[in-house]
């Protein structure tokens, strides 16, 4: 088992009850009753299964990293009864750019980390990369967020801000899956 590899499987099993699957950009995903997050491959017949790897950071500066570490809280807090899985795929043009060009759009133009920091520690997050996995994956990233039900309006506000930034001009597929446990 790869300790950094996670499976997100929609079907009839799992801790998380699926509340909603919203196709935002491009094709959506089929309906499932529940979502399981596991480190072993699924054994049940699934509606769909997405895989992603927790990887090293690409964009944060030392200062940003220290700011994140000082405020962020981990997954699995008892009050975090709501979660959101947002699979995202970016256009080929994003991947053709160099690292410094991508960083300029991600932070200098879009303030992804700078804005996101304002929503911590209420929103806990985890990022999984899919691009370098063997085979063709339908998404580049699986983003995962956990929060208390009363913080969902703030989460929606953050998403609205983010989706209006230049970074999102490069998003070609996005599905917003809302969960509860």
Q: How far is the CB of 160 from ligand HEM (least distance, A)?
A: 10
CA atoms within 13 A on the CB side of 3: 0
Active site residue 125: yes
Q: Does the protein bind ligand HEM through residue 57 (CB under 6 A)? A: yes
Per the CB < 8 A criterion, the answer to whether 54 and 6 are in contact is yes
Strands 34-38, 16-25: pairing kind? antiparallel
Q: How far is the CB of 4 from ligand HEM (least distance, A)?
A: 14
Q: How far is the CB of 43 from ligand HEM (least distance, A)?
A: 29
Catalytic one among 51, 89, 102, 125?
A: 125
Max CA pair span of the chain: 45
Q: How far is the CB of 118 from ligand HEM (least distance, A)?
A: 8
Q: Would you give the binding string for ligand HEM spanning residues 99-128, x where CB under 6 A is met? A: -------------xx--xx-xx--x-x-x-
Q: Tell me the torsion sign for CA atoms 140, 56, 158, 94.
A: negative
User: Nearer to ligand HEM by C-beta: 11 or 106?
Assistant: 106
C-alpha–C-alpha distance, residues 25 and 31, integer Å? 17
C-alpha–C-alpha distance, residues 157 and 136, integer Å? 32
C-alpha–C-alpha distance, residues 87 and 130, integer Å? 10
User: Nearer to ligand HEM by C-beta: 86 or 179?
Assistant: 86
Among 38, 54, 162, 172, binds ligand HEM (CB under 6 A): 162
For residue 89, the surrounding DSSP H or E stretch is strand 82-90
Query: Which positions are annotated as active-site residues?
Result: 125
Applying CB under 6 A, which residues contact ligand HEM?
57-60, 86, 88, 112-113, 116-117, 119-120, 123, 125, 127, 141, 143, 158-159, 162
């Amino acid at each position: 088992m790869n300790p950094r590899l996670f499976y997100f499987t929609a079907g009839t099993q799992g801790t998380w009850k699926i509340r909603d699957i919203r196709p935002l950009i491009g094709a959506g995903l089929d309906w499932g009753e529940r979502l399981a997050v596991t480190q072993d491959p699924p054994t049940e017949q699934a509606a769909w299964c997405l895989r992603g790897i927790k990887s090293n950071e690409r964009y944060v500066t030392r200062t940003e990293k220290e700011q994140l570490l000082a405020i962020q809280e981990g997954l699995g807090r008892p009050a975090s009864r709501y979660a959101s899985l947002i699979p995202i795929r970016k256009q080929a043009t994003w991947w053709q750019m160099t690292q410094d060009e991508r960083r300029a759009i991600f932070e200098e133009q879009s303030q992804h980390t700078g804005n996101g920091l304002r929503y911590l520690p209420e929103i806990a997050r985890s990022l999984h990369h899919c691009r370098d996995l063997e085979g063709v994956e339908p998404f580049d990233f699986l983003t995962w967020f956990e929060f208390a039900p009363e913080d969902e309006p703030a989460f929606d506000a953050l998403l609205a801000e983010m989706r209006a930034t230049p970074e999102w001009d490069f998003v070609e597929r996005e599905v917003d899956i809302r969960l509860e446990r």
